[in-house]
Structure 1
Amino acid sequence: MINRRFFLTAAATTAAIGMVPRLAFAKAATDRRFVFIIQRGAADGLGTLAPVGDPAFTAARGILAQDFANAPRLDGMFALHPALGRIAGLYQAKQALFLHATASPYRDRSHFDGQNVLETGSAGAYQVKDGWLNRLLAALPAEEAKAIAVAVTVPLALRGQRDVASYAPSALPDADDNLLQRVAMLYEGDRQLHALWSEAMATRALTADMAPNGAAMAARGGAGGGAGLARAAAATGALTAKLLSAPGGARIAMIETGGWDTHAQQRARLAGQLGGLDAMVGAIRDGLGPLWDQTIVLVATEFGRTVALNGTGGTDHGTAAAAMLFGGRVQGGRVMADWPGLAPNALYEGRDLRPTMPLDGFIGGAVASHFGLDPQRLMPVIFPGTATRAMGGLA
């Protein structure tokens, strides 16, 4: 291990992962940054962004509707969960945009399959071996095609032909300078490993003063209660911002968050999770400083949750959810939705929020606009096998 506070890996992920054609449609390099925050476990979009203007909302959600009695309204239909104070401020500043009743092409309710579709960008589970975010790197100029995962291992969305580093804290003992020097000498003759090791050492030096446990706690979700989770999430956000701000460093980052599978006692658990997300996004915004104006942050989950509560005060696996965009380049202050309604006869399979907006079109439109790419050429690359068109006017 490199030191007692951090575990650092530089992962070469090129072997046996499938071939991506060399793309030639990237424009000149810019100073833009992109962050993808994945909510593992199926986050409740109805509990995040509530359709309080829907006549069926209160009866359909039961006790969960009480959280929105005095919540800030974004418009005549939707209100934001009170735990999302920083995000509400971004919305007022027109730096937050929400998409509701959205879903990937996946229509079953398995976490593993749903996350596979979300991360590979494919039309079905296990049809593609690499991730949409790694394929995006091939469309960017070399100066921008640098990514890092704030995670113990590289998530599937970032796996592929392009080398990607991962960085996460650890409580394991320090390695002394002699060991580090010997490893550097061992890798010196290998062009690929030497480059990866050099990047790892640069990241280690950059983050030497960061808090030791923040990213790990935020990834687990729920550690240390609501306040502890918020502190951990803020530390992860600050770490991410620092990695993205370093000269010559990563331009793209992915953060894994867990704990969104709220089968029981959802009201308190979801409030804590959302408070953590709010703290994370706020720390990214604060840490990036002027770079925030060149940044977008995407938040998405594999699917939503049931409209009605179950017998333990929670919700079960559903279908449509909510996705979010934050940043200085976002054309925000809006909720995008083709609202299907929560009346019993409007629900998907009689239980779920019906999906009406394509998540892949939202993601593709956001990154194409942000990086100045042709959406018609980009969509088949990052979302193979789908016929969805990229949404316009997002960033």
Structure 2
Amino acid sequence: MLSRRHFLRVAAAGAGAMLVAPQIVFASAATDRRFVFVIQRGAADGLNIVVPYAEPAYASLRGPLAIDTANAAKLNGTFALHPSLVQAAQMYHGGQALFVHAVASPYRDRSHFDGQNVLETGGTAPYQVKDGWLNRLVGLVGATRENAIALAPTMPLALRGTARATSYAPSALPAASDDLLTRVSALYEGDAQLHGLWASAMNARGLAGDASAHQDPASLGKLAAQFLARADGPRIAMIETGGWDTHSAQNARLANQLKALDTMLASLRDNLGPAWDKTTVLVATEFGRTAAANGTGGTDHGQASVAMLAGGAVAGGRVIADWPGLRPADLYEQRDLKPTASLDALIAGAAAESLQLDPQRTATVLFAQAGAQQPVTGLIRT
């Protein structure tokens, strides 16, 4: 026999439950600007995403993994973009995307769980902070309607905190009938604990409208755009992507991952319409990968990686990098790309400028444990 709580989960899943990554989280705030955080779980290899083709040590370190830039978009005289990122290259050359290289959070070990915890909470060490920086950002903006909505089976840590959250998740399962949903609504009408959760879920379902979302990248981008473009929809979003841990067979796997990311971002852009001009998308990972290839056609856990900003609001067409080099003496612990840029400072500056907040106050609220660091500014068009 199903418990009432379990039945609620089953019925909500019929309304739509995402069974596989990626996952999306939304927050509604008192602004007409949009800010989207895309996390690449698994440690994305920045050296093969934004390729330092002019760096003499790159080809020798990477060997067969070195990206042939003959068919890659040249970003400048030093860096080229992975060939799978066709749409991202167009955004870059159209002034709607930029890249920040050799960037990292304060975390300096190589555990996915600990690295993601530091990235999502905004702390300087794992499990130091209990809530997420994206949740604190919602509080800074000032929420309206539903404070947050998650398209995910669980709420990502970056959005956990005092801001209220609900969820919606697309599903490949048959849609629940209106009769079933009405019966469940009646069942929970008098339940003090579950009535609010169900009502919130039904509200999210209503916002989704006729998206008929699937789990492929193009459909996911379209669904995100459908939420964000609505006048009564969310303004802050989080999208989770997984599969970036490329210990083996990296070239094929990374190419597929980047093609999916590229397709999702292009779908988001194309379906947002005029709202794209007020949108900033930040793409980042918990840490990078080793400078040298390993013995199984991949790379191992490293340090610095690359972050991307895309959107019509972005002052793009550039690569921001204090490039440390790839000679043995240049590497972190003689194995990793050395961090020379702060991911926290990038997030604080991008979020503040995107949502018209004070950058220094935003940095202090989002990354209090890091002390008085200077947020990166000049990222967003005025």
Go from structure 1 to structure 2 and tell me whether the alpha carbon gap of 1:198 and 1:212 turns closer, same or farther (over 3 Å shift). Answer: same
1:1-395 equivalences under 5 Å are: 1-2=11-12, 4=14, 6-7=16-17, 29-143=30-144, 146-172=147-173, 174-188=175-189, 194=195, 196-207=197-208, 209-214=210-215, 232-387=216-371, 388-395=373-380
> Are the counterparts in 1 of residues 151 and 170 from structure 2 also a CA contact under 8 Å?
no
Structure 1 residue 180 displacement after superposition: 1.9
Offset at residue 179 of structure 1 (A): 3.5
List gaps (5 residues or longer) in structure 2: 1-10, 20-28
CA contact under 8 A between 2:34 and 2:355: conserved in structure 1?
no
Distance (whole Å) between structure 2 residues aligned to residue 46 and residue 289 of structure 1:
32
Are the aligned partners of 1:105 and 1:124 in contact in 2 as well (CA < 8 Å)?
Answer: yes
Cα distance, 1:64 vs. partner? 2.0
Q: How many Å separate the matches in 2 of 1:283 and 1:86?
A: 10
CA displacement at 1:172 relative to structure 2: 4.4
Note closer, same or farther for the CA distance 1:252–1:272 as it changes in structure 2 (3 Å cut).
same
Give the conservation status (yes or no) of the 8 Å contact 1:8–1:204: no
Deviations 1:214-247 (Å, cap 9, x if unpaired)?
A: 1xxxxxxxxxxxxxxxxx1111111111111223
The Cα offsets for residues 238-288 of structure 1, whole Å up to 9 and x where unpaired, read as: 111111122312111111100000000101110000000100100110110
Amino acid at match of 1:306: T
- Contact kept? 2:149, 2:204, Cα under 8 Å: no
> CA-to-partner distance for each residue in 1:159-198, whole Å, 9 max, x for gaps?
1111122332334454443432233335546788655534
Letter matched to residue 16 of structure 2? F
CA contact (8 A) 2:213 2:223 kept: no
Aligned-partner SS, 1:88: helix
Structure 2: distance between partners of 1:76 and 1:376: 33
**In 2, distance between residues paired with 1:280 and 1:89?**
14
Q: Which runs of 5+ in 1 are unaligned?
A: 10-27, 215-231
Alpha-carbon separation, structure 2, partners of 1:361 and 1:163: 26
Residue 121 (structure 1) shift: 0.5
Query: What percent identity do the matched residue pairs reach?
Result: 59
Tell me: CA distance 1:71–1:175, structure 2 relative to 1, closer, same or farther (3 Å): closer
CA distance in 1, matches of 2:33, 2:241: 23
Aligned length: 360
Q: Contact 1:294/1:329 (CA < 8 Å) preserved in 2?
A: yes
Deviates more, 1:258-267 or 1:160-169: 160-169
- Are the equivalent residues in 2 in contact too, given 1:39–1:300 (CA < 8 A)? yes
Query: Quick one: which amino acid aligns to residue 331 of structure 2?
Result: L
Offset from partner CA, 1:109-145 (integer Å, 9 cap, x none): 0000000000001111000111000011111133388
- C-alpha contact 1:150 1:256 (8 A) present in aligned 2: no
Report the secondary structure of 2:38's partner residue: strand
For residue 222 of structure 1, what is the aligned residue in structure 2?
none
Give distance in 2, aligned partners of 1:292 and 1:213.
Answer: 22
The aligned counterpart of 2:7 is none
TM-score w.r.t. length of structure 1? 0.86
Inter-CA distance 30–4: structure 2 relative to 1 (3 Å threshold): closer
> What's the CA shift for 1:205?
3.6
CA shift in 2, pair 1:187/1:375, >3 Å: farther
Residues 386 and 211 (structure 1), Cα distance of their counterparts in 2 relative to 1, 3 Å cut? same
SS at structure 2 position matched to 1:56: helix
